[in-house]
Structure 1
Amino acid sequence: MTMTIPTTYTGWTGELAAIAAHPLVSGTLFAGAGFYQDRSDFDEGIEPCGIYRSDDHGGSWQFLGPTAPISEVLDIAFDAVDPDLIYAATNGDGLWRSTDGGTNWAHVPISDTLSPVVVEAIVTHPETPGKVYVRTYSYAESPNPEPELWVSEDAGDTWQQLAYVFLGVDLLISPPVPGYPPYTLYTGCEAGLCRSDDDGQTWEPVEGAPRPEILTAASDGERTVIYLGSPGGLVTSIEQQSALLLNTIPGRGSVLGSGVYRMTARLQSHRVYLPSVMRGYMP
């Protein structure tokens, strides 16, 4: 694998922070990568980061920007209708947006939120162009800020703050199920997993679910299954049913760093892309 990087980082160590596959173009990937000389900078999430693109399934990479280094990229999301509209969440430099397929990037203020702003997660609406949700923390006034949820209907030009929920990391919009609300919004909360059927205006906990670190969903058109990764393992929940199944890893006792790790796959090319992860276990 080859990567064209800014000459400033020649000889530095690189780390992949986030990755997303283009929703329409097979083999095209976008990634957030950081570089460091001092390992402590990477551990603290303060290494300079940038956004890169590959058009050959990750065989080679080209630096896209921004022109100035940004903090660690935590998430990358495509608009569900216009794939040239791309968002990048960062660990301190807020939200970034490209409207030309990743060639150029610009910072997007989230209302009057003061910097530094951590954007932990992004999710775009499956049918409404320009509609995007973000989960943020502003460290301008407190070292321990409370999270905020925001939604934009115009690709980030203006924002509305949603009802307050505690803690959590990821955001998810589940696919629709016939006979139920067209889309359900999920996020982690103090109670574990919380859901909203009214576009984030009100929230209710999902009984028995632990607080997730990551979320994903799958639907066969008749039901939707929500999968969440937590520090304690894998949980699945069939949409609109209360049954939860806690799964363990066969043959393992106590698993360190256990859970489900995000993957992006394009099945027609039989390729799977995974961020580098580390995991250990104790018998």
Structure 2
Amino acid sequence: MARRSSFVMFGAGTLAIGLVVAALTLLRTNEEGPTDAGGTSAEMEHIHGIGVDPGDGTVYAGTHYGLFRIADGTATRVSEVQDYMGFTVAGPGHFLASGHPGEGQDGPSSVGLIESTDGGETWETLSLSGEADFHALEYRHDRVYGLNSMTGQLLTSTDKQTWDMLSQTAIADFAVNPDDPDVLVTTTEQGLTRSDDGGATFELVTSAPVMVFVSWADDGALAGVTPDGVVYTAQDPAAEWTKQAGLDGQPEALTVESATEIYAATNGTVLASTDGGATFSPMLDQ
């Protein structure tokens, strides 16, 4: 399941937009770095979400400067330049996102929910333009879930047009059980929380460490990462969480595709693990 998240600071009863930890070290690419589809230099900075296209397994990263396709050690920008604060994959070549328009683009400062059906090259506004800035998005059970940073509301929609509120509380990220749409987990300042009633109520999961990002794969595997970049995995949110590798940097995004396949972002680059988080390697050639 594609995953996606931006930086939301845990607040004392409020949801504040910002960094969850101290200022991130930014990656400014040079002529050996990421490129546009046309071959020109591009900036892959502030990675807000990672997703994997189920059609061909290609990894995508939503960033402050557009959507990038990562393959063969390089990152190529496939979209126009705009800020993708939330990003998730809904199907082969089918992406959902949120964020802000790029320089010189018309429209409200927050784009609401936008959709691409051509692998990220073009996008259409679906709903909540000017009303929502989703810093976390997930598509599962034929519905989209989104964390609106403008209001602190966790919302869901079955048609991508009309929305229902699940909860309104200070959370940084969330994940939905692949087998049950009523079971969700969220990351909070107090720790991981779990809901068994579709988000109406949440209880603290005492077995889990405090994490900033969390992701739930289709095969049931869970992964989370702490604010200082240590990855943990589990097979059930209430079960024991196993400490895995550190990212050697503050986390920017996380997605778990399976019990063995995990992707994370730190310092403006994407890391991949094929051994369940025991080790991570950069996906981009240095």
TM-score for both structures, normalised by structure 1: 0.61
Are residues 163 and 19 of structure 1, via their aligned partners in 2, closer, same or farther at CA, if it must alter by over 3 Å?
closer
| Partner residue, 1:77 | 88
| Partner residue, 1:37 | none
5+ residue gaps, structure 1: 35-48, 139-145, 279-283
Determine helix, strand or coil for the equivalent of 2:115: strand
The letter of the residue matching 1:78 is V
Q: Percent identity?
A: 24
1:153 to 153, 158, 183: 158
The letter of the residue matching 1:163 is S
| Partner residue, 1:173 | 176
The letter of the residue matching 1:88 is A
1:106 to 118, 124, 149: 124
Are residues 193 and 103 of structure 1, via their aligned partners in 2, closer, same or farther at CA, if it must alter by over 3 Å?
same
5+ residue gaps, structure 2: 1-32, 101-108, 269-286
How many angstroms apart in 1 are the aligned matches of 2:121 and 2:250?
Answer: 36
Are residues 20 and 204 of structure 1, via their aligned partners in 2, closer, same or farther at CA, if it must alter by over 3 Å?
same
1:20 to 46, 51, 54: 51
Give the drift of 1:206. 1.8
The letter of the residue matching 1:150 is L
How many angstroms apart in 1 are the aligned matches of 2:62 and 2:152?
Answer: 23
| Partner residue, 1:50 | 66
Are residues 271 and 134 of structure 1, via their aligned partners in 2, closer, same or farther at CA, if it must alter by over 3 Å?
closer
| Partner residue, 2:208 | 209
How many angstroms apart in 1 are the aligned matches of 2:223 and 2:261?
Answer: 21
The answer to whether the 8 A contact 1:234-1:260 is kept is: no
| Partner residue, 1:193 | 192
The answer to whether the 8 A contact 2:51-2:87 is kept is: yes
Determine helix, strand or coil for the equivalent of 1:15: coil
The answer to whether the 8 A contact 1:5-1:62 is kept is: yes
Give the drift of 1:214. 1.0
The answer to whether the 8 A contact 2:251-2:264 is kept is: no
How many angstroms apart in 2 are the aligned matches of 1:190 and 1:243?
Answer: 20
Give the drift of 1:63. 3.0
| Partner residue, 2:95 | 86
How many angstroms apart in 1 are the aligned matches of 2:78 and 2:195?
Answer: 38
- Check if 1:31 corresponds to 2:61: yes
Determine helix, strand or coil for the equivalent of 1:64: coil
How many angstroms apart in 1 are the aligned matches of 2:218 and 2:43?
Answer: 40
CA displacement 1:2-26 (0-9 Å, x = unmatched): 622689xx77755262432211213
- Check if 1:162 corresponds to 2:166: yes
| Partner residue, 2:265 | 275
| Bigger Cα Rg | 1
| Partner residue, 2:223 | 227
The answer to whether the 8 A contact 1:53-1:64 is kept is: no
Structure having greater relative contact order (Cα 8 Å, sep ≥ 6): 2
TM-score for both structures, normalised by structure 2: 0.61
How many angstroms apart in 1 are the aligned matches of 2:251 and 2:63?
Answer: 23
| Partner residue, 1:135 | 147
CA displacement 1:127-157 (0-9 Å, x = unmatched): x33x10000122xxxxxxx511110101x21
- Correspondence 1:228-243 to 2 at 5 A: 228-231=224-227, 233-239=230-236, 242-243=238-239
CA displacement 1:204-233 (0-9 Å, x = unmatched): 22235344211123576xxx5533212264
Give the drift of 1:239. 2.1
